Copies of this chain bind each other. A is one copy, B any other.
């Protein structure tokens, strides 16, 4: 499930990808960064990694199934990245999100943003994460010792 590169009008690059297999986020950032053409132009990179915890709402969580709406997810994340590249000055951004079965300590999501100055990278990485958590069509089902449950809602991040 690869998503092509987008080239929004403001000149910021972006790459959005939904993965059904485990990934190593820092390796992905390193490999992606080596392909960025704008060497010497970015002074700031802000990276966020969401990792599966082994507890939630007071319960031990054994594993998780992550469902998404193929197509709408990518469209939504693309739209948010384009909006961000209009509001802030950024050079490149990368989003990778897992779907399928996950186990504690597995990376769930990676957001990385490259910009000339730190303010933009910090603000955009957080903005992309908040938009992703509040509106991108993903759903988590947790495996507990006594059965499965759907996560009801994400908590606000501000």
Contacts and interface: CB of A to CB of B under 8 A. Distances in A.
Interface of A: 24, 26-27, 29-30, 39-55, 104-105, 116-119, 121-122, 125-126, 129, 133, 155, 157-158
Nearest to A122: B126
Contacts of A55: 40-41
A40 B119 contact: no
Q: Is chain A's binding surface mostly helix, strand, loop or mixed?
A: mixed
Contacts of A24: 30
A92 B122 CA distance: 19
14 contacts: A26-B29, A39-B54, A40-B104, A40-B105, A41-B54, A42-B53, A43-B51, A43-B52, A44-B50, A45-B51, A46-B48, A47-B49, A48-B121, A122-B157
Copies of this protein in the complex: 2
Nearest to A33: B26
B46 A105 contact: no
Given A119-B157, A121-B48, A122-B48, A41 B53 contact: yes
Contact of A27 (B26, B39, B53, B158): B26
A117 B129 CA distance: 12
A155 B119 CA distance: 10
